[in-house]
């Protein structure tokens, strides 16, 4: 045996920042498992079970022996159903060949980046951003260029901010509306203004619309590819089944893109993972085909989220020193805690230690001075957690 130490691990392995949201969630769960009474606002997933008809379809597929490799880009029936749902829901004509079903929305985003970016290319990422975008961009050898939008701007970048960040190396813009972590939802006009810049500067756009159905106050989201032929030609729409249908563990994401881009993404997937789980895809098919049952489940979930959103917002804004935008999408609020003069990481660590409240620091999302709180948790936890947070903030002010 050689006495030399092993060579270092790769630059990819050494440079990756592990997901801080999953880390906080894991820490909160470990404390709970040890018997601590934790109020966790860290979850990035609905606290509802997957609707029964979706589970039943998956079980039936398993029993019927749908347990083998299937087409890399997804079973034909599901790709067709996804294409039809885009036509029916947003009026976008999509052929099944434009659809790629992947093992999770996260992987869908990674494929979209890998399909469009080469080493050295720059990618504009509005901040606060979902934690995985910059890391995925780096894994592709490309360079993340965050553009910050604060709470004063409703956490939305303006066309002039985008324009100022574009360089000759910019290849891709990533948009995520409704947003994780802020819950912000861009209007159609705002998206159109950003798309005008993307067209003028000849950028690809990855539009991560995974929270597309989780909106409140009667809002409707805009699918970016519907903003005209120029938009359609350059937009890669990422979405998936995790959030809308409470299927986070199923690992099913979707990409809709012009056929040559979808083909490239499927070819990348063919070497990186092969098909998404075969029998899970039959569950997803039931989610799209059994529309009434699916709509009823979604409506119930949305009503609960809306109630909790208001409860959490009212609680937060009643705490002296905390301000918070009442976001209209996803299941997150992103309160401003900068008045306490603590870094968001230290704030979260002390909050968890002292009051057993788990929140994710804004710094993880490229925005210092904020917390991300998920309201995908019970009214009871929200009420109790807010009281503890108020206590903690009071102690800082004292
Ligand atoms: C903005 C955003 N995009 C994509 C995903 C990926 O979801 P999944 O991989 O569970 O389908 C998430 C999950 O947290 C998300 O918040």
Tokens 């499927």 found at: 266
Q: How many CA atoms lie within 13 A of 136 on its CB side?
A: 24
pLDDT digits (tens, 9 = 90+) for 274-307: 999 999 999 999 999 999 999 999 999 999 999 9
At residue 360, the pLDDT reads 95
Q: Are 81 and 283 in contact (CB under 8 A)?
A: no
Q: How far apart are CA 242 and CA 4, in angstroms?
A: 46
Query: Cα(68)–Cα(278) distance, rounded to whole angstroms?
Result: 7
68-123 confidence digits (pLDDT tens)? 999 999 999 999 999 999 999 999 999 999 999 999 999 999 999 999 999 999 99
User: What domains appear along the chain, each with residue ranges and CATH number?
Assistant: 11-49+294-397 (3.90.1150.10), 52-290 (3.40.640.10)
Percent of the chain with pLDDT over 70: 99
User: Strand 360-361's sheet: what is its strand order?
Assistant: 332-333, 371-374, 360-361
Helix (H) / strand (E) containing 352: helix 344-355
User: pLDDT class for 25, splitting at 50, 70, 90?
Assistant: confident
Q: Whose CA is nearest to atom 1 of ligand 1?
A: 180
Tokens 């599901």 label which residue?
A: 78
Give per-residue pLDDT as tens, 174-183. 999 999 999 9
| CA 305 to ligand 1 centroid distance, Å | 18
Q: Is the pLDDT of residue 1 over 70?
A: no
**What pLDDT score does 260 carry?**
98
Distance from the CA of 150 to the center of ligand 1, in angstroms? 22
Reported as a single tens digit per residue, the pLDDT across 325-338 is 999 999 999 999 99
Query: For the chain, what percent of residues have pLDDT higher than 90?
Result: 92
Work out the mean pLDDT of the chain and round it to a whole number.
96
Helix, strand, or coil here: 144?
A: strand
> What is the distance in A from the centroid of ligand 1 to the CA of 312?
22
Of the given ranges (9-13, 58-62, 85-89, 267-271), which has the lowest mean pLDDT? 9-13
Q: Which residues contact 318 (CB under 8 A, 6 or more apart)?
A: 390
Ligand 1 atom at minimal distance to the Cα of residue 330: 16
Band (pLDDT 50/70/90 cuts) for residue 398 is low
Protein residues with CB under 6 Å of any ligand 1 atom: 44, 104-106, 109, 130, 176, 180, 208, 210, 240, 242, 248, 253
Question: What span, in angstroms and rounded, lies between the C-alpha atoms of 40 and 352?
Answer: 9
Question: In this predicted model, what pLDDT tens digit does every residue of 187-212 receive, in sequence order?
Answer: 999 999 999 999 999 999 999 999 99
The order of strands in the sheet holding 99-102 is 99-102, 253-256, 235-240, 204-208, 170-175, 122-127, 143-148
Helices then strands, counting H and E runs in the chain, come out as: 14, 12
């Amino acid at each position: 045996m050689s006495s030399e130490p092993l060579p270092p691990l790769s630059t990819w392995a050494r440079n990756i920042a592990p997901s801080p949201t999953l880390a906080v969630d894991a820490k909160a769960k470990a404390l709970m498992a040890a018997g601590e009474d934790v109020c966790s606002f860290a979850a990035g997933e609905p606290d509802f079970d997957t609707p029964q008809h979706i589970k039943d379809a998956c079980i039936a597929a398993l029993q019927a022996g749908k347990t083998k490799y299937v087409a890399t880009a997804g079973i034909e029936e599901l790709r067709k159903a996804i294409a039809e749902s885009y036509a029916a829901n947003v009026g976008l004509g999509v052929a099944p060949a434009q659809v790629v079903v992947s093992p999770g929305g996260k992987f869908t985003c990674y494929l979209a980046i890998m399909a469009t970016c080469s080493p050295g290319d720059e990618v504009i990422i509005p901040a606060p951003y979902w934690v995985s975008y910059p890391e995925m961009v780096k894994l592709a050898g490309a360079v993340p260029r965050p553009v910050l939008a604060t709470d004063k701007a409703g956490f939305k970048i303006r066309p002039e901010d985008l324009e100022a960040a574009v360089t000759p190396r910019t290849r891709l813009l990533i948009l995520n509306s409704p947003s994780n972590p802020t819950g912000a939802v861009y209007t159609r006009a705002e998206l159109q203004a950003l798309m005008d810049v993307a067209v003028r500067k000849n950028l690809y756009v990855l539009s991560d619309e995974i929270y597309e159905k989780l909106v409140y106050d009667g809002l409707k989201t805009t699918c970016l590819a519907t903003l005209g032929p120029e938009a359609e030609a350059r937009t890669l729409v990422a979405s998936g089944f995790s959030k809308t249908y409470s299927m986070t563990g199923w690992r099913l994401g979707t990409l809709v893109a012009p056929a040559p881009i979808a083909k490239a993404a499927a070819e990348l997937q063919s070497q990186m993972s092969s098909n998404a789980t075969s029998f899970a895809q039959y569950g997803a098919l039931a989610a799209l085909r059994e529309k009434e049952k699916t709509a009823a489940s979604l409506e119930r979930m949305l009503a609960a989220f809306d109630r909790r959103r208001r409860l959490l917002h009212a609680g937060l804004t009643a705490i002296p020193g905390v301000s918070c935008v009442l976001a209209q999408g996803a299941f997150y609020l992103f309160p401003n805690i900068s008045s306490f003069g603590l870094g968001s990481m230290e704030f979260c660590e002390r909050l968890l230690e002292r009051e057993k409240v788990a929140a994710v620091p804004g710094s993880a999302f490229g925005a210092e001075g904020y917390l991300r709180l998920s309201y995908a948790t019970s009214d009871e936890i929200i009420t109790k957690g807010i009281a503890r947070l108020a206590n903690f903030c009071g102690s800082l002010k004292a």
